[in-house]
Amino acid sequence: MRNLLILFSVFFWGLVIWYAYTQMIPRGQYGVVFLGGILELFIFTELMSLAGGGRGQLFADLKRAFSRENLVDTIPLSLSAVVVAATCSYLAVNYQAVAIDRAGRALPNEYVMAAAFSIVIIYLTWRAFGQTFLIVVLAGFAYGYFGMYAPGPLEHGGLGIERILRTVVISVDGFFGFLTRLVAAWIALFLLYAGFLKAYGAFDLIMRLAFRSARYIDSGIAQTAVLSSAVIGSVNGSQTANAGMTGSFTIPLMKRNGMKPETAGAIEAVASTAGQVLPPVMGAGAFIMASLITGITYADVIVAGLIPAVILCVTIFVAVHYVSVPQLDSTDPERLISEPMPRAEFLTEVVKYGVPLAVLIYLLGIVQVTVMTAALWTATSMLITGVLIPVLQAAAGTSDETAGAATKRVAWETLNGAREGVIVLAPVTIILAAINGVVDILTTTGVPTAISLTLMDLSGGVLFVAAILAMIICIVLGLGMPTTASYTIVALLIAPTLINQFFLPELASHFFVFYAAILAGLTPPIATCVAVACGIAGGDFWKSCVEAIKISAPLFVLPFVFVYHPEIVSSEFDLLSLTSGALALLGAVAIIHGINYRFAFGRPITFGARIAFFTTGVLAMLHPSRIVQFTAVGVAIAMYVVQSSVGRPKPIATARSVFGLSGRSAPKTGQTDRE
């Protein structure tokens, strides 16, 4: 069954690549075929898991999957496969008649088909993401049907069952709408690229680079988690999935070197969240943002996200250093790498993974081709370098393998990369298809306008109050969802209010809701990203949440910077944007210092120092007046100088250790000496 999945995955990616290269059919029709294909692959993957991984003989695997104890799973999965095949085939063949010629009308048999397909989508959503998101989808359908019972401005006349079915299936919008087409045309190829990266061993290279950093900074082991999770997370559309993937390695590593489970889990959760906002992919959110904002290109979104990403990375680096150094044991970085990599091989690996990244940057940033074309050639170049370089090395005699053995190995790695790409892509596609259906229902009811009026009413027209309420709504709507899904909902429901009612620039509004939505993964009581990380670490959930919030505190303030200083995300690097970015960075570091630094004073003075650093940091980040911002930064710097002089016998050494430059040669005589 595993080999069958690989075979089906290759056919599926062949279809994706063919469309990206030719675009010979309408995108809506291609979206139908794409969704049908990925749903069938997901169903097959679920059946394979019931067979114990599908690594045995085919008929033995099938017999195990369809055994009596598994019938409660296999029967609905098999029926789902039939419904998906029938519905998507019908809509693809009759696309012109259904989507265009008979728009707004449907045949009786089409309503039956649409009802069955809607049930299948709801069922597969539950299998992929559990009860939390199932409730969100069902609530969207219920609101569309029972809208006449909704309170206040959220009330509407209610949509009939036939209209709901036309909206989500028969119109070839809804589940097949713009989000599904976006995944099919843009995101899928990037996830194939991510699958190749994993299969060809890029993760191992990233970890080696991270381990090397342990030579130069005291918190190097913990920074390993930050670097690897951020890089992998930037191409992964789910912070929770990323925490599970990279955390399975980084969390045990941190624990083995003396870190508490709660701290290890919190660092991984925050690092996985940070990866979602890092250019050039931004957890696939950049693609959706570029498609939602009129007149904005993908390159504009990436450039706009650079300054916030720098602020976030620097502050997380400082925070992780503060919380990890007192806990980590002194570790020889060479001991972490079981097989040292020769310099020549290291350079070859850098070329192998660097060329596709250079292709991506060149095509998007310089040539400025479409995202689909850039994704196609990025994945293709990764395939070429991933296959050719090991084979050429073997043929030249510079590796331990023969050319035949190297060819066989990379062939299996390539096939496995195709399978990995499908495994990552399927849940993302399912949840975005479900979200697309719910959003279309909500749009049909007019709820975005109702939310806009309600938010305006509750805030009294005060921007700061409206921003706080909007952020709370974004966090609530983002609970339990991947980045792409949570951002899409809040971008369609909340961002228009900030744009139309408070005249915030479009990029600033979308970055506000984007950053706010990903906070749901760190915010209790749901905090799905923390839950996954602390499950791996074996730590207490609530303590892990507290640690995660302490490390990521500036992330909760940063969205408001986009409101009061929208030039930070204006896609322009001028004096105004760079000054605002520098002030926000210094303010964020002051917040981190106040919350996480272990002061050498008594409790009352320490508490006062924490409040003072936090307050000056917030003012430096947010206040509209430049005078207040510069004053706040000056006060924070003055407090740091005083604290270093009074609270430490060696202020210069203290300043050096803030940036991890104290060196590993110094003995670990006490916590204060290492900080």
pLDDT at 507: 92
**Banded model confidence at residue 14, pLDDT cuts 50, 70, 90:** very high
The percent of residues in the chain predicted with pLDDT above 90, rounded, is: 30
User: What percent of the chain has pLDDT above 70?
Assistant: 89
**For residues 544 and 541, what is the distance between their CA atoms, to the nearest angstrom?**
5
Burial of 202 (0-12, 13-18, 19+ CB in 10 A): buried
Q: Which amino acid is at 391?
A: V
- How far apart are alpha carbons 267 and 608 in whole angstroms? 26
Q: What is the rounded average pLDDT for all residues in the chain?
A: 83
If we measure between CA atoms, which residue out of 160, 166, 36 comes closest to residue 111?
166
Average pLDDT on 189-193 reads 84
Q: How confident is the model at residue 516 (pLDDT cuts 50, 70, 90)?
A: confident
Give 337-342 contacts, CB < 8 A, sequence gap 24+. 337/208, 337/211, 341/208
Per-residue pLDDT tens over the stretch 242-256: 777 677 777 887 887
Asked if the model's pLDDT at residue 669 lies above 50, the reply is no
The answer to which of 3-7, 110-114, 477-481, 500-504 has the lowest mean pLDDT is 477-481
CA distance 224 to 229: 8
| Both tokens assigned to 299 | 């390159």
pLDDT band at 331 (very low <50, low <70, confident <90, very high): low
What span, in angstroms and rounded, lies between the C-alpha atoms of 133 and 295? 32
Summarize the confidence of residues 448-472 as an average pLDDT.
Answer: 80
Answer positive or negative: Cα dihedral of 148, 149, 153, 159. Answer: negative
> What pLDDT, on a 0 to 100 scale, did the predictor assign at position 82?
96
**Average pLDDT of 574-581?**
92
Token pair belonging to 221:
């082991």
Query: What are 342's two structure tokens?
Result: 């020769």
Q: What is the pLDDT of residue 425?
A: 86
Least confident of 38-52, 144-158, 239-253, 382-396: 239-253
Sign of CA dihedral 490, 494, 500, 506: negative
Quote the pTM value: 0.74
Q: What is the mean pLDDT of residues 578-582?
A: 94
What value does the mean pLDDT take over residues 426-442?
Answer: 86
d(CA 516, CA 271): 16
213-223 pLDDT per residue, tens: 656 666 777 78
Amino acid at 534: C
Of 79-88, 264-273, 335-344, where does the model show the most confidence? 79-88
* Token code pair at residue 248: 């399975």
* Alpha-carbon distances of 350 from 194, 204, 353, rounded to whole Å: 16, 12, 5
Q: Which residues lie below 8 Å from residue 164, measured CB to CB, with a gap of 6+?
A: 141, 144, 145, 441
In terms of average pLDDT, the best of 41-50, 177-186, 277-286 is: 41-50
Report residue 673's pLDDT band, with 50, 70 and 90 as the boundaries.
very low
- pLDDT at site 674: 40
- 302: pLDDT confidence band, cut at 50, 70 and 90? confident
Q: Is the pLDDT of residue 532 over 80?
A: no
Helix (H) or strand (E) holding 674: helix 671-674
Whole-angstrom Cα distance, residue 320 to residue 267?
A: 7
pLDDT of residue 666: 39
